Structure 1
């Protein structure tokens, strides 16, 4: 995203966003509306904007560490049945989100894996109400997850299906970040939890896994190289094999 590198005029930003099919019903020139979708835009002048993550020190950034449980691996065939999230401001926890979601179908394999039964979700709030509440909780924080591609895609698609528009939040994967900052044989959540001595609170439950991912994330922050200064630096550093420049983590 060009905004991660420089300021752009509002007209150019609006033009580029208008080419995105998922945003065709949005006012691409309305910064408040874009922030509600998670795009952290700030003015750098009267006519230009950039991403706040580009200017915010990574220690001061808000990160929402998320985990979801679903009754299928594809949002076209299933839905979210639990959302858990930990909000961090720098290295301090400032909030938590946790909710089961009503559904009429939980396959036996999913019930065995998560321990979530139809009885558990019979009186849970609807998917739309949970997503609306979670979107308000998330705001324009950086979206963080262990295997972020799955959680981000599933939730963004679910938001769109419910008529809330897509997520535009910046995102970061704790697997990728851990691979650059933590020496380990494997980088699955359970393996890292055991290696780092993270307390087991409930395997394959959303909030418990979000809390574990948050601890992995905080451990990684302790091993960042000095070149990582801003939140956007951190996002860039976490990506696998950046082509333009490489930043090596400190030796431990």
Structure 2
């Protein structure tokens, strides 16, 4: 009998024989439908050896936004003589021919390449694709790396190249990360590329063994709680279909290392059926905040946020606090941590000459001025050089910038960023960019929250899947009642009954005073979703004309999904 030669698929391709092209792109934004590629960097490797590199700047066909230039260091002047993407594609497609493509957050980079191919008449690449983010989630635990950003993984694997948002640098760093991840996968008996692809998606034995935990969970919206043998809550989640969601934890689609670790400990799944999906979202937040499960990462410590406070005294100052008080002070927040609040405070200091000392000052001045006076950044009220009336001009600007008009902060920092970018002082400009982003996003968030939380009573409805209506009662930004009105029912008795049994809310202090910011934001997202109708509203629901929302979109575009590394 003649011997039969096994196919390559049957034998598997040893990883040391696979040719990988690790690549990275820089772009003018995060959407391949709206933005363009400004740089391609790629490294071809096999068996740990670099076989070649591909790198080029690309003329995007339009101006590069200043925020992108600050982030990447790529300016309009740098790409003015660079080739267009249609001239680069043939060479790049030839470079990657017959290889496995590797990228960090590969969907972003491959999406831009496919869009460019489609636009310019080239067949999109059919290469196998490996995402180092997916592989990292499979082989690294949360104790080893807090996240899977490229910079974090490069430091963990001691990469010789630091990611700096330049394509070739980031591709080289990703090569080191890839080699580190492949070495790790060897401990899982992964030795071929086919095994590697299956390994990334395969459920663990623990996941397969515990599939029975989902059997009693109903097909309904609600909250689910994974518990260990002692009844300790390990993880809390929510879903529009509890049974389907819980079952997904025991399949190959669940690749998060910390969740797979949690599955190994879990012994039961409790559930709470909710009337609506919004009620499920809110209950999830409240339960996480109360139980603080060790495997939940978000929403565990809603009470640990901080605020920026413009104090209530003759010469107000900016202070970072954890508590909202019933005083006449002005607050901006919430911020997730002290550093973010300090960035926002610095942005205000760079815009308005407020005093930066922490002492309470007398009306006449009692001590010598500091160096800020000599620099022209403070009027020295401490030395009596600035009266309460004169100082109040600065206070009023700061107060408006915090509450209603972000123009002074935005204009001042944007002008300085553009000047620093022209001078190629990108590191300094990036600091201003990040401070401005923190300030604008926090101000926009607070203004949206305040618009809702000052409304004492609101009833809204959205269409349900069965033809009925999901109805919610909201008071001062807190969900107080939820119900589903059946199709054909008269709305008045149903709404009146829901209102009668709704929770009574006594508002507290500050912009967010009856619920966590996350709960109020969840309600806002629902209120702004298509099909929602307002049934009852007490008071006005409006945003300031010159508020932060008008410039936030510009900032978000600069940071949009294209730069998560």
Normalising by structure 1, we get a TM-score of 0.72
Partner Cα distance (1:198, 1:62) in 2: 20
Aligned to 1:82: 39
Aligned to 2:88: 130
Q: Is this contact kept in 2: 1:53–1:231, CA < 8 A? A: no
Shift of the 116–237 alpha-carbon distance from structure 1 to 2, 3 Å rule, reads same
Aligned to 1:62: 19
- Size of the aligned set, in residue pairs, is 201
Partner Cα distance (1:169, 1:58) in 2: 16
Partner Cα distance (2:163, 2:130) in 1: 23
Aligned to 1:155: 113
Residue-by-residue CA offset, 1:48-81 (whole Å, 9 max, x unaligned): xx88697321210011111000112112111111
Name structure 1 gaps, 5 residues minimum. Answer: 1-43
Shift of the 52–88 alpha-carbon distance from structure 1 to 2, 3 Å rule, reads farther
Shift of the 72–223 alpha-carbon distance from structure 1 to 2, 3 Å rule, reads same
Q: CA RMSD in A?
A: 2.8
CA positional deviation for 1:232 = 2.0
- 1:68-147 alignment, distance < 5 Å: 68-103=25-60, 104-147=62-105
CA positional deviation for 1:178 = 1.7
CA positional deviation for 1:131 = 1.4
Q: Is this contact kept in 2: 1:53–1:61, CA < 8 A? A: no
Residue-by-residue CA offset, 1:76-135 (whole Å, 9 max, x unaligned): 111111000111113211111100001222111111110000110011111111111110
Name structure 2 gaps, 5 residues minimum. Answer: 205-250, 258-565
Answer with 53-62 or 96-105: which moved more.
53-62
Q: Is this contact kept in 1: 2:72–2:166, CA < 8 A? A: yes
Partner Cα distance (1:114, 1:163) in 2: 29
Q: Is this contact kept in 2: 1:173–1:238, CA < 8 A? A: no
Shift of the 215–59 alpha-carbon distance from structure 1 to 2, 3 Å rule, reads same
Partner Cα distance (1:204, 1:217) in 2: 18
Aligned to 1:195: 156
Partner Cα distance (1:54, 1:135) in 2: 28
Pair 1:229 & 2:164 matched: no
Q: Higher Cα Rg: structure 1 or 2?
A: 2
Higher RCO, 1 or 2 (CA under 8 Å, sep at least 6)? 1
Partner secondary structure for residue 223 of structure 1:
helix
Shift of the 163–240 alpha-carbon distance from structure 1 to 2, 3 Å rule, reads farther
Partner Cα distance (1:190, 1:162) in 2: 33
Q: Is this contact kept in 1: 2:164–2:170, CA < 8 A? A: yes
